[in-house]
Structure 1
Amino acid sequence: MPVESDEEVRAVFDLEAIAVVGCSSTPGKAAHEIPRYLQDVGYEVIPVNPNAEEVLGRPAYDSLSEVEETVDVVDVFRPSEEVADVVDEVIAREDVDVVWLQLGIHDDEAVSRAETDGRKVVQDRCMKPEHRRLVA
């Protein structure tokens, strides 16, 4: 189910736990600054980055499948070519409600699979400005 209206996007921000696949440990990068913003405004940010031990003061997981906490939203900061693998991991979990693909990240086939599996999908939007516009 594509999430397109402001009301639908606003509802995503009612969820609490956001796993950020590709969360960066490098300040200044969007994949660091946006999760940090989300953490600062009260979301539980769960970093997924196999190249980091810790991001934003939290242990980083090597993959989404290794995340032990409950995940409501998966925010993807990886190249479009990697979306299919992330969606495979989402489908293997029962807790994820929403897949959010950041600006410029697309994979129509993977999105279709996620939606067919009952997940909501947001594409080509950034969580930080959307949160500021609709919630903050």
Structure 2
Amino acid sequence: MPVTDDDELRAILDHETVAVVGCSSTPGKDAHEIPRYLREHGYEVIPVNPHADEIFDREAADSLADVDEEIDIVDVFRPSDEVSGIIDAALDREDSPVIWTQLGIRDEEATDRAEADGRQVVEDRCMKVEHQRLC
């Protein structure tokens, strides 16, 4: 089952490095503003977007496989029908203990696979909202 407990969410929010899949270079979009908020609150944000060269003055990775840094949280800003492939990419990594899907984004089967692999999953929640509420 996805994480819903406030204490577990607080522990997850203590992580530092967030790979944002679907991070946008367009100010005003949630996929830009929420990662910007996370950066402003001390998180190391790694933008993952094959259609952007640079976001937040940082080179954007084309995929999770292209991220050299260790990832604590994979934050997903892509449609629900793309979650399965993103989770598979996260599971291919030794790191990324947490997969977080933003509001309205869920895939029960992919969540089950991630949890069976020992990953924590937060789904259908906004990381910014939860950070403001709990931290």
Shorter-chain TM-score above 0.5? yes
Aligned to 1:124: 124
- What is the alpha-carbon distance in structure 2 between the residues aligned to residue 24 and residue 77 of structure 1? 9
Aligned to 1:69: 69
Amino acid at match of 2:12: V
Which runs of structure 2 are paired with 1:2-41 in the superposition (5 Å)? 2-41=2-41
Q: Deviations over 1:64-116 (max 9, x none)?
A: 11100000000000000100000110110011110000000010000000000
- What is the alpha-carbon distance in structure 1 between the residues aligned to residue 68 and residue 74 of structure 2? 14
* CA positional deviation for 1:45: 0.1
Aligned to 2:92: 92
Amino acid at match of 2:62: D
Look up the SS of the partner of 1:18 in the other structure: strand
Look up the SS of the partner of 1:93 in the other structure: coil
**Superposed CA RMSD:** 0.7
Aligned to 2:48: 48
- Displacement over 3 Å in runs of 4+: none
Amino acid at match of 1:30: D
Amino acid at match of 1:120: Q
* CA positional deviation for 1:2: 2.3
Look up the SS of the partner of 1:103 in the other structure: coil
Look up the SS of the partner of 1:104 in the other structure: coil
Look up the SS of the partner of 1:19 in the other structure: strand
User: Gapped runs of 5+ residues in structure 2?
Assistant: none
